[in-house]
Structure formats: structure tokens, C-alpha cells
Copies of this chain bind each other. A is one copy, B any other.
Amino acid sequence: MNTYQRIVLAARPKGEVQPENFRLESLPLPSCGEGEVLVRNQFLSLDPYMRGRMSDAKSYAAPQPLDETMIGGTVGQVIESRNPRFAVGDTVVGMFGWSEIGLSDGALLRKVDTTHIPASAYLGAVGMPGMTAWYGLNHIMKPKAGETVAVSAASGAVGSVVGQLAKLQGCRVVGIAGGKEKCDYVVNELGFDGCVDYKAGNLRADLKAAAPDGIDAIFENVGGEVFDAALGRTNAFARIALCGMIAGYNGEDIPLKNARLLLTNRLLVQGFIVTEHMELWPQGLKELGQLVAAGKLKFRESVAEGLAAAPDAFIGLLKGRNFGKQLVRLS
């Protein structure tokens, strides 16, 4: 087998992402040059930020180029190495994108230990999603024990970590998720104090019931109505970590109706991108890894099988169809 497959961006989406925005290609296996490492990717991570990259609107990151491998985090095994830092069989985390194979000089590859932590977790709770949760909670929301923390997309890769970390810090944690099944999981498996199903049609009333003392800190990664509803329950001096606004990824405006509360409740809102805080990753990943290894930080995965399934899985992710961290198994 001397070919591999990858998926490139074929066309930028107009509105919702469509399968036609992607193109599956076969390429010859590259040869491993001096100092290089060849990796067979085991899992690809699908994340909402990819939707932003597919557009060429001005944003914090350069757009995904057309006809090039879609960006994405991966974990896989070294199958050939001409770099002394890596040996065949090593498990490595990288950014090889939507591709079965990756070739690298090793500079941005990170060797990970899968003795106590499954490889896929390095794309989730012990990877970028986990770090996003860790940073937002500890560096922006800074909740005190006894405070109420609200988390949107609560069953997702980021939200589930935010809530569990907040529980470990002694907070009352209220999740917001889509559907009874996700809410049950959030409460029964992850240990949140409550979870509001935004699809049930009573978002504001249900949130009031679930957070009777108001909300002191919000982790917001949905935007739109869910964000407005959470803002509407804030207590004075609440802190809001803002990372990901899926509701607006398709290019539509997401007006914030409760903007007045920013003033009247003296709120702090901080948007952030966790890759701009790399200096904190070693500390955060160490803490997250220890919690996962100790069974104190649970996570759930949705695994699509094979690279060709990635576009549908990604479209489902944007619509909230996934349940837990969305991955694609590549080998």
C-alpha cells in the first residue's frame, strides 16, 4: 500500500457546510527525508474552529487554503523515523490534518504516553479541548467554591471538562445541552448539579430553576440565544469565558440581546483562543492527564469510522449531532 488518502477544502461554504465543500484525494506515500518522521494517523479530531477556517472572513487565524489538506489535530504512530527524537511505534500528537499520513521534521510533534491515558484522549480531555476548558475556568472564570458555574455545550469535549473541573473546585455546576440524553449524561455520568435542555423550549425558565441563586461564571461556547439566556441569570460581577460561538459559524449575525447586563451586572467578558497561551499548556496538560489517569475526569467520544466519513461527522458536529468529543478513526 503505497498511497494514502487526505481530504482537502474544495470550496468555501456559503452558509451551512455541505459535503461538496470537501474532496477526498489519494496521494503516493511520501518518503521520509533526513531528520523527518512519517506518521500513520490513528485519530483525527474534529472541532468547531475548523468552520471558521473554512471561511475567508477576517478572523484570528488565516483561512484554510483551498485544495490543501484540511487543518486538524491528530494522534498516531511513527511508522518511519530519520529523527533521533522519535522511534517507530511512538505515539505522537500533531497537526497533520484530515489525512491518513503525516510527514514532519518533528518540531511540532509531541510524544505522548498511552500507558494510563488512551491515545484519543490527547485530542480531547488531555488536548486542546481540555486546555480550552482549563484555561477558561482557571484564568478567566476563576470561580470560588460555592459559586454557580454555567457551561454551554455541556456534554461536549470542552464543556464536559469545564464542568468536572468546576465540581472538583467545589462549585455548583449547571450544564446546558441539547436533548434529554445529553442532559442525563451530564448529570448522571459527569456529576453536574443540573442540566438544562435548550431544545425543550423553556430555556430561560429552566435555567432559572436550575440556577436559583443566579450564575457567577459562564463558560460560553455556543453563543446566540443560549448565551443570552445565561447572561440573563448572571449575578453581579460574573465572569464569562468566551470560546467558540457555534451559533454564528455559518456567517450569520448573532446579536446579543442582553448586552445591557454587561453594564448593569458589571460583567467581565473575555474572548480567548487557547493556542495563544501555549506557555500554560505543560502545566494544564499535566493536571488534566493526572485527572484522566486517576479516573476523576470522564469523557465520551463519538467516533466516525474512516477518513471518508469525516465531512458528514463534521457537519453533524456543527449541528450538535455528536455526543462527546468528535473523532475520526483513521487506522
A binding-site residues for B, Cβ under 8 Å: 52, 58-60, 223, 227, 236, 242-245, 248, 253-257, 259-260, 262-273, 276
Contact = CB atoms under 8 A, between A and B. Distances in A.
Contacts of A255: 255-257, 259
A271 B262 CA distance: 5
Closest 7 CB pairs of A and B: A256-B259, A256-B256, A255-B255, A263-B271, A269-B269, A266-B271, A262-B271
Given A265-B60, A269-B269, A260 B245 contact: yes
A140 to B, nearest CB: 9
B268 A260 contact: no
A269 to B, nearest CB: 4
A263 B256 CA distance: 13
Contacts of A256: 255-256, 259
Given A243-B263, A248-B260, 14 more contacts: A60-B266, A223-B259, A223-B263, A244-B263, A248-B259, A253-B260, A254-B259, A254-B260, A255-B255, A256-B256, A263-B271, A264-B271, A266-B276, A268-B268
A84 B59 CA distance: 63
A130 B308 CA distance: 62
Contacts of A244: 263
A262 B269 CA distance: 8
Contacts of A227: 259
Nearest to A59: B264
A173 to B, nearest CB: 22
Contacts of A58: 264
Contact of A267 (B253, B265, B269, B276): B269
B265 A271 contact: yes
A253 B257 contact: yes
Nearest to A267: B271
14 contacts: A58-B264, A60-B265, A243-B263, A244-B263, A245-B259, A245-B260, A245-B263, A253-B260, A255-B255, A256-B259, A263-B271, A267-B270, A268-B270, A269-B270
A290 to B, nearest CB: 29
Given A256-B256, A268-B268, A262 B242 contact: yes
